[in-house]
Amino acid sequence: MAIAFTLVHISIMKRVTGIGGIFFKAKDPESLQSWYARHLGIPVTDEGVSFEWRERDNPEEKGRTVWATFPQDTDYFKPSHAPFMINYRVENLDALLDALRKEGVTVDPKVEQHDYGKFGWIIDPEGNRIELWEPPRK
């Protein structure tokens, strides 16, 4: 009896490494930010809040998670109609977007590069826009 083995190459790529930010729509963003500052002590600025923390595997390196409100009529979350958007930290945005395209995920063709990182967007099966962020390498 002959036994056939098929070797399957499994590509192990880090995908999401953490939450980079939580963004949500508000009827009155400034008033809501003031409420969070007054009642929860969240130190809101014009750009939102940036919670700093240390990388587990490299404690000298700082990470951050952003919290921000957006006007109710913002186009930034489109085509999603959800009142929120989550930003996930990723290790290699280009490789991840390529893999997601091959898996049939809806990927926005737009990718933005800034001094604070590289951004791409996908849509989940329920129509929610998801932001993917590759922080700049130090």
pLDDT digits (tens, 9 = 90+) for 17-67: 889 999 999 999 989 988 998 998 988 877 778 888 887 888 888 888 999
The tokens of 114 are what?
């800034």
Predicted TM-score (pTM) of this structure: 0.82
Q: Which amino acid is at 104?
A: G
What share of the chain in percent tops pLDDT 70?
91
Nearby residues of 80 by Cβ (< 8 Å), 6 or more positions away? 123, 127, 128, 129
CATH dotted code for 20-134: 3.10.180.10
**For residue 130, which of 91, 79, 92, 94 has the smallest C-alpha distance?**
79
| 88 CB burial (10 A radius; 0-12, 13-18, 19+) | middle
The tokens of 82 are what?
């959800």
Average pLDDT, the chain: 88
Residue ranges per structural domain of the chain: 20-134
